């Protein structure tokens, strides 16, 4: 498996520093948080996009994906959501990123209504994603926290260019065991976000292995099933200012994941 980290852990850091951190600490790739307050966002011009892609390529670091904030199940008209998603797909194409992350965001709607809305929009966007050569991944998050929740939508879409991003914290918080999450998601799985927290009540990010999330079980399961994708460490420093800075944790985090992978093998 390949290892990456998310720029959510180093909010606002210049891309040259992000690339250096990945290369120096032995990570294969980086997931770029895509937001106007970050160096990478959909407002970048053509020359800026070319420069971003070139910087990563020169360092031998891959752009795993773009973590966008499109909410595909949100109430309202389809077109603003689809326009935002097309912009994100265009950016991923220009940067050479294979994936874009979207959220469910179903809010207070009924599950059936949110499922139908998300599936309709994802189905509409799937052909655009095919043309862009980018895969849309629905994260296990908010209104669709578990693998079973996400599977309801993805089963309705039924398109190879629309898949799943397994956030192990959210499936755990949803009361779903890793084996059940994997069974639901494996036909659609793009990559896996790993992290660690103290408890369900305290989700402040911790160094990998220092909390309660079932990382050993997840990695062992993925290895046993022969899954050979990406593990991406999403350290949510952006939302928890008091959390320990990520750069000083990167080597130990990579070593922890490598140890889990070796043990699983």
Domain boundaries, the chain: 2-264
**Structure tokens of 182?**
């994997």
Cα–Cα distance, 38 to 8 (Å, whole number): 9
- Tell me the mean pLDDT per 10 residues along the chain, length 265: 97 97 98 97 98 98 98 98 98 98 96 98 98 98 98 97 98 98 97 98 97 97 95 97 96 97 87
Q: Give me the half-sphere count of Cα atoms (radius 13 Å) on the Cβ side of residue 102.
A: 34
Distance (Å, whole) CA 181 – CA 168: 9
- DSSP state at residue 2: E
- Number of neighbours of residue 54 by Cβ within 10 angstroms: 11
Q: What is the pLDDT of residue 264?
A: 84
Model confidence pTM above 0.85: yes
Q: Facing residues of 225 across strands?
A: none
Measure the CA–CA gap between 100 and 111, rounded to whole angstroms: 24
Is the CB of residue 189 less than 8 Å from the CB of residue 229?
yes
Q: How far is CA 221 from CA 177, 182, 217, 224, 226, in A?
A: 11, 8, 6, 5, 9
Q: Domain spanning 2-264 has what CATH number?
A: 3.20.20.150
Angstrom distances, CA of residue 170 to CA of 43, 60, 92, 101, 252:
30, 31, 25, 15, 23
Say if residues 122 and 138 touch (Cβ distance below 8 Å).
yes
- DSSP-H helix ranges across the chain: 15-24, 46-59, 78-95, 111-132, 147-157, 168-173, 178-185, 215-224, 250-264
Phi, psi at 174, each rounded to 5°: -80, 0
Q: Which of 84, 257, 52, 252 is nearest to 168 (CA)?
A: 257
Q: Phi and psi at residue 65, in whole multiples of 5°? A: -175, 170
């Amino acid at each position: 498996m390949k290892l990456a980290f998310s720029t959510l852990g180093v909010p606002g850091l210049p891309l040259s520093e992000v690339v250096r951190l990945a290369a120096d600490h032995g990570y294969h790739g980086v997931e770029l948080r895509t937001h106007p307050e970050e160096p990478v966002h959909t407002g970048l011009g053509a020359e800026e996009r070319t420069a971003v892609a070139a910087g990563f390529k020169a360092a031998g670091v891959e752009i795993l994906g773009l973590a966008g904030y499109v909410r595909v199940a949100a109430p309202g008209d389809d077109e603003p959501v689809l326009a935002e998603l097309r912009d994100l797909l265009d950016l991923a194409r220009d940067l050479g990123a294979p994936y874009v992350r979207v959220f469910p965001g179903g809010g207070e709607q009924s599950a059936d209504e949110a499922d139908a809305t998300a599936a309709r929009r994802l189905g509409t966007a799937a052909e655009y994603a095919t043309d862009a050569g980018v895969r849309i991944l629905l994260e296990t998050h908010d209104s669709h926290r578990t693998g079973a929740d996400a599977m309801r939508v993805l089963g309705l879409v039924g398109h190879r260019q629309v898949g799943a991003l397994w956030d192990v914290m959210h499936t755990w918080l949803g009361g779903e065991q890793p084996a059940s999450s994997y069974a639901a998601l494996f036909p659609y799985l793009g990559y896996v976000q790993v992290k660690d927290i103290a408890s369900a009540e305290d989700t402040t990010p911790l160094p990998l292995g220092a909390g309660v999330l079932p990382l050993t079980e997840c990695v062992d399961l993925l290895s046993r099933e022969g899954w050979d994708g990406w593990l991406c460490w999403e350290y949510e420093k952006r939302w928890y200012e008091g959390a320990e800075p990520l750069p000083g944790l990167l080597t130990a985090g990579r070593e922890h994941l490598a140890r889990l992978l070796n043990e699983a093998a």
